[in-house]
Chains A and B, each alone.
Chain A
Amino acid sequence: MAMASLKTIALREEEHQGLSGGHSLCAGCGIPPIVRTVLGSIPGPKVAISATGCLEVATTRYPFTAWGVPWIHVAFENAAAVASGAEAAFRALSRRGKLSEEPVTFVVFAGDGGTYDIGLQALSGALERGHRLLYVCYNNEAYMNTGIQRSGATPYAANTTTSPVGSLGKGKAERRKDMTAIVVAHHIPYAAQAATSHWQDLSRKVERAAQASGPSFLNVLATCPPGWGHEAKDSVRLARIAVETHYWPLFEVVEGHYRITHRPLQQRPLEEWLNLQKRFSHLHGERGADLVVRLQEELDDSWAQLVQRDASDADWFRALEEAEA
């Protein structure tokens, strides 16, 4: 499959900007590059469906909109259901000859709260029903729009306004859930994890996802300077560190088969990830040594499992590539 080059994406944007500037997302926010890469990597008409959250609020203050594609937001917990209905309408109207033959891509953009937590049921239903839609979770690991509350995606030990560090509190007491695995358990044709630091990897995954014969899912790590307590200038660097510490591995799951899409040459120490973010400042230095050990163990376990899956599915991917070539 020929991959969209940066030039193709730029040209597509020039022709038709999916998300323009003038919105009020923060400097260094990971969301805009995700949305622009996703929309720029899909040819043809698209419909965007958003859940309530930073993206929706910051891009559509009435009477303005930053969206250059048809866009709808209904509520926080139901973006996948809204998309299901729009996709069903597309099928119904096409069948009755009321639309042109051209395929339309339905793309959902929802935060981690709207995906891992309150929107999980609607997402699960949509995946099980097999609607043709691409669901993109921009994952900034907390409810940012309402002031940095913990979510099911917030990592162990992170300081948020509802998992505060105090004389007793040590940040979030629970592990983040493995949403990508939950999605994969729905037997959908395509799911992947991506990060803004590796835009080509993201773009290629979007292309694959958009061509899938059923639902597809992308879980994309999105930096958040106010929420994570990092410098805006460090956004891309931080995303890269997340990948290279194995905190956020880049992989894809095609028809249930796992493949690591970027293997860091060398695993960077977890401290590099933690030390750039104030949400982990209680772990910096000796004070948080125990918690860091626990975090490191979790990452190592997950990575080992992923490597194993990747190895056992290697033949399957070889056969797929031969078939595609």
Chain B
Amino acid sequence: MAKVELALQVLTGAEATAHAMRQIQPDVVPVYPITPQTPIIQTFSRFVADGKADTVIVQVESEHSAMSAAVGSALAGARTMTATASQGLALMVEVIYIAAGLRAPIVIAVGNRALSAPINIHGDHSDGMLARDSGAVQIYAQDAQEAYDLMVMAPRIAEHPDVMLPVMVGQDGFQVTHSAEGVALLPDPDVRDFVGPYEIPNPLLGGGASSHGTFAMPDSYFELRHQLVQATEAAEAVYAEVAQDYRRRFGRDLPQIDAYRMEDAERAILLIGSAAGTAKEVVDDLRAEGERVGLVALRLYRPFPHAALRAALAGARRVAVLDRAVSPGAYPPLYSDALGALQGSATTLQSYVYGLGGRDLSQRAVRRAFAELALPAADRIGYLGLGGEDGDGEP
């Protein structure tokens, strides 16, 4: 395996994402600004203005139009990307479903942020969960480096002939989008070579006369939607294939599931995104104290990696599932998904919600979740950090 040695640059997740876009040079980028996505599109606009990226940016009048223009662009044979967050993603959702149904391979960078009301610009995963059932692939970065790496991988997944779907690349608002850290960018030619030319057939400008977005009655709709289900499912193997090639070429390993110190772990935490950093520190501390604990962080959330998750958690008896989103009146999304994946296994799950609207997940809170896993199972949702960062969610 060739490990590429590269100098680190201090970049935020948003800037690193913009660099990936500069290197990929998509044909068309329709965008509309919203915090915390703005530094992505501002940085990228500057690259275009300075002649460092040859992309047609369409400054649309809303996110609904951004996604709509992206669909028009993708079906006219152009490699297309956009970026959004929060209310903007909410506005896009109608069209994300349609983009998936039309099999438009659009890459969407998301600075994950809370939803109104009350309005809040900070990180959580509520926005991504709105698009959970759209058919779009969803991957989540833990830090700025991953935000960059996954953005480079995303077009290959989106454009794979078995997939041909929108791919959302999530990074936690502020905690990743605005946090500067050392990021190693790959050389421009390596990225271009990895991503490759855009080879999707061009339905609108390719010389044929096909119709797209037609009207389907009960005699065909079910079958057509089922094709979408199969395409989304196919993205799991494609993700693995692309991640493997990325590792082979650049020495960076980004499997769909990040299993940390799980070898003999009896208790584990399952979560998505930047909180993995805090959780890993706690795991290290508890391991030093002799406890058999570990962490599983998902990079690939849609399609949900059922079998891989089962394998990663095979040895763990108790797992705390930490959701950064709620489903008021029901168990939160990641917990429900994990429960489905683990049915019939000996592992039992405990549901927690943390970090809504940008509240940090403290080490104390993670420790508490691990400690509670040693107690008898409770049939309730725990709220980590409710009532203050170290709050225990008890009224």
Chain A residues with CB under 8 Å of chain B are 47, 49, 56-57, 60-63, 65, 67-75, 77-78, 80-93, 95-96, 98-99, 104, 121-122, 124-125, 128-129
Contacts and interface: CB of A to CB of B under 8 A. Distances in A.
Interface stretch (B137-145, B214-222, B280-288, B365-373): B214-222
A171 to B, nearest CB: 31
A65 B54 contact: no
A23 to B, nearest CB: 11
Contact of A47 (B204, B216, B224): B204
Given A92-B73, A93-B78, 7 more contacts: A47-B205, A62-B214, A78-B68, A85-B71, A85-B73, A91-B56, A125-B60
A85 to B, nearest CB: 3
A84 B65 contact: yes
A82 B72 contact: yes
Contacts of A80: 65
Contacts of A63: 220
Given A57-B215, A81-B68, A86 B61 contact: no
Interface in B24-77: 27-28, 30, 54-56, 58-62, 64-66, 68-77
A99 B214 contact: no
Nearest to A72: B212
Q: How large is the interface on B (under 10, 10 to 19, 20 to 34, 35 or more residues)?
A: 35 or more
Contact of B69 (A56, A61, A84, A121): A84
Interface stretch (B94-102, B175-183, B243-251, B307-315): B94-102
A14 to B, nearest CB: 16
A84 B211 CA distance: 18
B30 A85 contact: yes
Given A81-B68, A86-B76, A89-B78, A67 B56 contact: no
Contact of B78 (A47, A82, A92): A92
30 contacts: A47-B76, A47-B204, A47-B205, A49-B72, A60-B211, A61-B214, A62-B215, A62-B224, A70-B208, A72-B71, A72-B203, A72-B204, A74-B95, A74-B102, A78-B68, A81-B68, A81-B72, A82-B68, A82-B69, A82-B72, A84-B69, A85-B70, A86-B73, A88-B30, A88-B58, A89-B56, A89-B74, A95-B54, A122-B62, A122-B65
A47 B210 CA distance: 10
B376 interface: no
A93 B77 contact: yes
Interface in B224-262: 224
Contact of A70 (B68, B70, B205): B205
Contact of A84 (B27, B72, B208): B72
A65 B68 contact: no
A72 B72 CA distance: 8
A86 B209 contact: no
B211 A67 contact: yes
Interface in B169-223: 203-205, 208-217, 220
A68 B95 contact: no
Contact of B60 (A71, A77, A84, A95): A84
Contacts of B68: 74-75, 78, 81-82, 84-85, 122
Interface string B95-120: 10010001000000000000000000
A272 to B, nearest CB: 37
B80 to A, nearest CB: 7
Nearest to B223: A62
A81 B65 contact: yes
